[in-house]
């Protein structure tokens, strides 16, 4: 009898322990992918204080079933419209999204200058042939004898860092900065500890990621989400003068001042990342200055999504609303995750939605 009771106690304890683990594991933040060493070593070529940063690995994505079935054809047209950027490199080297272009790094600042790095199979002979015809490219040599090219119709400057890497910018001064960077230099984003740490926190780093820690840019993203789901907006008079210091955004201040209009000020960063396989795992990651603001953000987003679902009940006009049923909202400490898996069933709605429009 004693043995039976002992077994019951052990079983009861085991069930309680497993239940405890299950309940608590729900809020354990997933482990993010490590930042590849090759990517880290390239971040020193980008601006130290950019408005936003973007990375795309086409070589990885081209290998996936999702790319082959849903992406490759549509991106062939995107090459012609991506601000003429990718089309410039395709014309100059023959490398395209579908073949030859492996990686793209892009950053820009509030003043309009950008920094671009592309890696892949680059045909320099193709560019030399253009120059012999005195066509759409010009070339000069800098003080170190390195060829600096410019496409005449869009003014983009670029140079070959090595046989498989091109560095480019629309500002010659930025290109000079990139020319001066050594492979071992701790420069560019590597000097911006706050932004670099935010990049380290991005969940998916192998295929596509974009990030910003700039408050005004984050406001634009948040504004776009509000408009696309509820039609609401943040007043233009609202500013982003809040300090990042904990003394300003302490718990008392947050309790008093957190509203839907100024919530974006408490963001440390916002990122968008993608993991591609036979489907597309998309994640919008909002990292806040503390746990209280992340709790408030999740409650606001829950409310926005709920209102959007109710208002769109029975409506077939807005494709983006259909995606709301597939969204998953989770909070981990200071972070709020908005997750969406895209597959054959909902990719049409995603293509027709305005949820991912760039902020105005």
User: CB of 287 within 8 A of CB of 269?
Assistant: yes
Give the start-to-end residue ranges of the domains of the chain: 37-190, 214-352
Indicate if the pLDDT at residue 28 is higher than 90. Answer: no
To which H or E segment does residue 22 belong? helix 2-25
pLDDT value of residue 251 = 43
User: CB of 98 within 8 A of CB of 76?
Assistant: yes
Indicate if the pLDDT at residue 4 is higher than 70. Answer: no
User: CB of 103 within 8 A of CB of 59?
Assistant: yes
Indicate if the pLDDT at residue 258 is higher than 60. Answer: no
The most confident of the ranges 83-87, 103-107, 343-347 is 103-107
Indicate if the pLDDT at residue 253 is higher than 70. Answer: no
Q: What is the mean pLDDT of the chain?
A: 79
Indicate if the pLDDT at residue 350 is higher than 90. Answer: no
Taking CA atoms, 64 is separated from 70, 182, 247, in Å, by: 10, 34, 47
Indicate if the pLDDT at residue 321 is higher than 90. Answer: no
Indicate if the pLDDT at residue 119 is higher than 70. Answer: yes
Indicate if the pLDDT at residue 2 is higher than 60. Answer: no
Q: Is 107 exposed, middle or buried (0-12, 13-18, 19+ CB in 10 A)?
A: buried
Alpha helices in 53-138, H assignment, sequence order: 58-62, 65-66, 72-81, 85-93, 124-132
Q: Give the pLDDT band (50/70/90) at residue 91.
A: confident
Supply the DSSP symbol for 358.
Answer: P
Mean pLDDT of 133-150: 86
**270 — phi, psi (to 5°)?**
-135, 135
Mean pLDDT of 29-57: 94
To which H or E segment does residue 209 belong? strand 208-212
How much helix, strand and coil, in percent to the nearest 5, is found in the chain? 40, 20, 35
User: CB of 131 within 8 A of CB of 113?
Assistant: no
The percent of residues above 90 in pLDDT, for the chain, comes to 42
**Two tokens at 351?**
């293509």
Q: Give the pLDDT band (50/70/90) at residue 358.
A: very low
Angle between helices 215-229 and 291-311 (to 10 degrees): 30
Where does residue 235 fall: left (phi above 0), alpha (psi -120 to 50 degrees), or beta otherwise? beta
Supply the DSSP symbol for 287.
Answer: E
pLDDT value of residue 303 = 84
Per-residue pLDDT tens digits for 143-190: 899 999 998 888 899 999 999 999 999 999 999 999 999 988 899 999
d(CA 102, CA 6): 62
d(CA 42, CA 345): 37
Indicate if the pLDDT at residue 257 is higher than 90. Answer: no
Check residues 97 and 271 and name the one with the higher pLDDT.
Answer: 271
Mean pLDDT of 137-146: 90
User: CB of 174 within 8 A of CB of 35?
Assistant: no
pLDDT value of residue 359 = 44
Indicate if the pLDDT at residue 108 is higher than 90. Answer: yes
d(CA 299, CA 318): 24
3-class state of residue 94 by DSSP: coil
Quick check: pTM over 0.85?
A: no
Indicate if the pLDDT at residue 117 is higher than 70. Answer: yes
């Amino acid at each position: 009898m004693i043995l039976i009771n002992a077994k019951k106690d052990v079983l009861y304890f085991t069930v309680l322990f497993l239940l405890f683990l299950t309940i608590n594991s729900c809020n354990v933040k997933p482990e993010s992918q490590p930042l590849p060493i090759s990517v880290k070593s390239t971040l020193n070529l980008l601006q130290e204080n950019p408005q936003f940063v973007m990375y795309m690995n086409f070589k990885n994505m081209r290998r996936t079933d999702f790319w082959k079935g849903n992406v490759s054809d549509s991106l062939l047209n995107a090459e012609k419209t991506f601000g003429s950027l990718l089309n410039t490199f395709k014309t100059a080297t023959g490398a395209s999204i579908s073949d030859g272009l492996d990686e793209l790094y892009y950053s820009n600042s509030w003043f309009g200058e950008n920094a671009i790095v592309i890696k892949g199979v680059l045909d320099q002979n193709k560019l030399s042939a253009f120059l012999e015809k005195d066509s759409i490219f010009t070339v000069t040599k800098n003080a170190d004898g390195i060829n600096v090219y410019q496409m005449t119709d869009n003014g983009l400057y670029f140079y070959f860092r090595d046989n498989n890497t091109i560095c480019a910018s629309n500002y010659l001064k930025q290109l000079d900065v990139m020319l001066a960077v050594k492979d071992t230099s701790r420069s560019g984003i590597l000097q911006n500890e706050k932004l670099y740490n935010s990049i380290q926190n991005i969940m998916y780093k192998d295929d596509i990621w974009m990030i910003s820690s700039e408050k005004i840019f984050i406001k634009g993203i948040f504004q776009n989400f509000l408009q696309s789901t509820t039609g609401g907006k943040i007043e233009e008079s609202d500013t982003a003068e809040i300090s990042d210091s904990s003394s300003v955004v302490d718990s008392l201040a947050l309790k008093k001042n957190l509203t839907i209009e100024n919530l974006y000020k408490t963001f440390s960063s916002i990122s968008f990342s993608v993991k591609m396989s036979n489907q597309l795992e998309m994640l919008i990651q909002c990292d806040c200055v503390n746990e209280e603001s992340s709790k408030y953000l999740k409650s606001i987003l829950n409310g926005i999504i709920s209102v959007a679902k109710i208002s769109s009940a029975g409506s077939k006009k807005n494709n983006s609303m259909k995606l709301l049923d597939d969204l998953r909202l989770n909070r981990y400490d200071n972070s709020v995750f908005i997750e969406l898996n895209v597959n054959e069933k909902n990719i049409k709605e995603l293509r027709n939605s305005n949820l991912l429009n760039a902020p105005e």
